[in-house]
Amino acid sequence: MASRWADTEADAAEALRKKKEKEEKKRLKLRKQQAEEAAAQAALEAEARPSKRRRLSSGDDEAAEAAPSKEKEAERNLLRFEAGGWAPCRHTSNFETLNHIEEGSYGWVSRARELSTGEVVALKKVKMDLKQDGFPTTALREIALLQRARHPNIVSLHEVLSGSSPDEVVLVMEFVEHDLKTLQEDMPEPFLASEVKTLLKQLVGAVSFLHSNAILHRDLKTSNILLSNRGHLKIADFGMARYIPPPNAPLTQLVVTLWYRAPELLLGAEDYGAEIDMWSFGCIFGELLSKSPILQGKNEVDELSLIFALCGLPSEKSWPGFYRLPNARSLKIPRDTGARAAGQIRAKFPFLTNAGAELLSSLLSLNPEHRPTAEEVVNHSYFKEAPKPKPMEMFPTFPSKAGQEKRRRRASPNAPKRGDGHGVQNVDFSSIFASRDDEETGGGFQLKMV
């Protein structure tokens, strides 16, 4: 039922008016928004379009021409540095081969001269076996590790060359005059104690650098250690080197030259670390003292016998894990070694100081866990006692076989031998004083005894 006070027509007219008013406000608001968007778009286009510069006088043209020249001059004064990048390998024709040095297990080494600069370098031609293995893994490891191992006592790799055939790859390295093995063979006497310390300190510094960068050399020996005429030592030949793997990762035991191979490798260990390099370092230490390798075994069994004779027999106390090694089960070693476990290192090197003997004995410890690290050897007291390491500037020089140098020998009289002296008999010395009468004579002087 409708109210008696309601005005139906008036209410409908009022609702219609409010609806029209509301629609008009919406239309005005939409028009305002469209105008604002158009203005913003015009402003963006005006900013993107380059502004026209008004020409006022001829002086503006001169200023406009001078501005670019100043910018170019400022650009020329900027310092620019060459950045590394990719480039094709150079050809071997850029080098002149001077002489062949030696043939190794993984390549041929020769001495050469770069034609553009005259620099003497060492070229190592990689041995290829494309039918079986393709590009050698040893060469890949050597290139990768030498690029990372930048150290004063590690030979530097300059570049890699390509030859006339696709399978000819040559490594360009710095040339160093000697290797320790050849040098010691030509020396009449071994190095002095101060010289041995100089060599060992450089060698262990390089080994410490390798181990701190998780690199195992796995073939340290005197033929792979180079020495310059300025007493600068460098480690070379990284063909067997590799990064230290995670713990318990299986590795091959067929590494390191036999005379420098650690006993755990001879016994078939497949889990090893930096201790094998420290054993090789100890063998090099003894070789520098005696001028010849100290463990010259004919085969692996003979090498083990020499090691046990020098370092003593292993026991459960000195090397608990010895009998668990694969090849140790076939060895007949008495369990109660007694006095034979002491070794003969001190007797073999009687002139070595107590600190030196302790260092050598620890390096040649049968148990790998008892060998010192390279960092511990660097700080050992042996290098701080007298005689101190000789400065490299005072190191003796030797003729280089690799450089085809020969020792210069000046003619000198021999020492007199019994029965050779005949005295001075019937010798005419008149010709020596023949022209003395024709010489001009002056006032001279006279000595008077008082």
Where do the domains of the chain lie? 89-175, 178-394
Q: Residue 414 has what pLDDT? A: 47
Q: Residue 329 has what pLDDT? A: 80
- In this prediction, residue 245 has a pLDDT band, given cuts at 50, 70 and 90, of confident
Task: Write out 116-154 in H/E/C secondary structure.
Answer: CCCCEEEEEEECCECCCCECCHHHHHHHHHHHHCCCCCE
When the pLDDT of each residue in the chain is averaged and rounded to a whole number, the result is 81
- In this prediction, residue 406 has a pLDDT band, given cuts at 50, 70 and 90, of low
Q: Residue 249 has what pLDDT? A: 82
When pLDDT is averaged across residues 138-148 and rounded to a whole number, the result is 89
**Nearest 5°: CA angle at 370, between 367 and 250?**
55
The percentage of residues in the chain with a pLDDT greater than 70, rounded to a whole number, is 76
- In this prediction, residue 371 has a pLDDT band, given cuts at 50, 70 and 90, of very high
- Residue that the structure tokens 């008892």 belong to: 370
CATH of domain 178-394: 1.10.510.10
Residues 204-244 pLDDT 10s? 999 999 999 999 999 999 999 999 988 899 999 998 999 98
pLDDT surpasses 80 at 435:
no
**3-class SS at 97?**
strand
Q: Residue 341 has what pLDDT? A: 57
Q: Residue 412 has what pLDDT? A: 45
DSSP conformation class of 227: E
Q: Residue 2 has what pLDDT? A: 52
| DSSP alpha helix (H) spans, 350-409 | 354-363, 374-378
- Residue that the structure tokens 């090893």 belong to: 272
When pLDDT is averaged across residues 165-185 and rounded to a whole number, the result is 90
| DSSP alpha helix (H) spans, 49-127 | 58-76
**Is pLDDT larger for residue 284 or for residue 323?**
284
Q: Residue 447 has what pLDDT? A: 60
CATH of domain 89-175: 3.30.200.20
Q: What tokens were used for 25?
A: 């406000």
Q: Residue 409 has what pLDDT? A: 46
- Sign of the Cα torsion 40, 44, 49, 50 reads positive
Nearest to 90 by CA among 164, 182, 186, 200: 164
Amino acid present at 218:
R
**Is pLDDT larger for residue 66 or for residue 19?**
19
Q: Mean pLDDT highest for which of 2-6, 25-29, 331-335, 341-345?
A: 25-29
pLDDT surpasses 80 at 251:
yes
Q: Residue 105 has what pLDDT? A: 73
Q: Residue 410 has what pLDDT? A: 47
Specify whether 129 is catalytic: no
Nearest to 365 by CA among 324, 413, 317, 329: 317
Nearest to 123 by CA among 115, 111, 114, 113: 111
* Biggest distance spanned by C-alpha atoms of the chain: 179
When pLDDT is averaged across residues 38-48 and rounded to a whole number, the result is 79
When pLDDT is averaged across residues 90-113 and rounded to a whole number, the result is 87
Annotated active-site residue in 179, 219, 237, 277: 219
Listed in order, strand segments (DSSP E) in 143-210 are 157-162, 169-174, 178-179
The percentage of residues in the chain with a pLDDT greater than 90, rounded to a whole number, is 40
Q: Residue 84 has what pLDDT? A: 62
**3-class SS at 33?**
helix
pLDDT surpasses 70 at 55:
no
